[in-house]
Amino acid sequence: MSVALDELSDELADLLGFTLVLAKRWGVDLVTALERKWHMQLTSGDQ
């Protein structure tokens, strides 16, 4: 990878990491929110 792509990857990892930490701290169900907001199914539906 190029240096620029490595730096972008690091920044995106930070963004995702902070998002996951905040969601856990605030009790946010990210899977449900992503399914609702992005109109995608992330769970199998077999539950």
Structural domain spans, the chain: 3-38
- pTM for the model: 0.73
Instruction: Give the per-residue pLDDT at 1.
Output: 77
**C-alpha span between 47 and 31 (Å, rounded):** 14
pLDDT tens across 2-47, in order? 999 999 999 999 999 999 999 999 999 999 999 999 998 988 866 5
8 Å CB contact between 12 and 5: no
How does DSSP classify residue 27? T
Distance in angstroms (rounded) separating the CA atoms of residues 12 and 32: 21
What pLDDT is recorded for position 30?
Answer: 95
CA distance 33 to 22: 14
Whole-angstrom distance, CA of residue 13 vs CA of residue 34: 18
